[in-house]
Amino acid sequence: MFSPLDVCDTVARELRRQLDLNEETLKLALIEHLKSRIQHIEENLDFLISCLPIVDNREEMLKLVQFDRYSEEIELENVLSLKFRYREKDLIRWRKRAEDIRKEEERYRIFSRFADIEDELEPLENIVQKNVSETEKHINFRD
């Protein structure tokens, strides 16, 4: 008689065998996952720029999406002069750090470096996605 845990163990073992999740395969999958998420952030920033022609580049859009004091009347120039947590160089740095995961040999270090990058980029990813959703909502409401 099999217990549910025996079945789970058997299924997990078979999936691992079929997927061939060795360290190299794992590294490549995690690197591509991170790079895809970074690219998605960049594409979303580009979309927002296309919807707001007064913003010229990703650096400016990154500042604008992080500005959360909408109740204040403030000029765009003043917002752009403020310092914010995320800058475009963070996207470049995350992409490089993702590539550097290739150098790791131990599974624990691979996951640790992946998780560190993910923890850093996720708040920005959420902010940008929220702005994209709001923008799309306004575009759809206008049509």
Q: Tell if the pTM clears 0.85, that is, is over it.
A: no
Q: Which long-range contacts (CB under 8 A, 24 or more apart) does 115-123 make?
A: 117/34, 118/34, 118/37, 120/90, 120/94, 121/34, 121/37, 121/38, 121/41, 121/90, 121/94
With vertex at residue 23, the alpha carbon angle to CA 22 and CA 24, rounded to the nearest 5 degrees, is 95
Give the tokens for residue 66: 């992080």
Q: Which helix (H) or strand (E) holds 2?
A: none
Residues 6+ apart with CB under 8 A from 107: 23, 26
Tell me what pLDDT residue 75 has.
76
Tell me what pLDDT residue 132 has.
95
Tell me what pLDDT residue 12 has.
60
Tell me what pLDDT residue 4 has.
58
Tell me what pLDDT residue 22 has.
80
User: Which of 31, 36, 65 has the alpha carbon at shortest distance from 48?
Assistant: 65
pLDDT below 70 — which residues of the chain?
Answer: 1-9, 11-21, 69-73, 142-143
Tell me what pLDDT residue 36 has.
95
d(CA 74, CA 115): 37
Write the CA distances from 19 to 13, 25, 65, 108, 110, integer angstroms. 10, 9, 39, 19, 18
d(CA 143, CA 139): 7
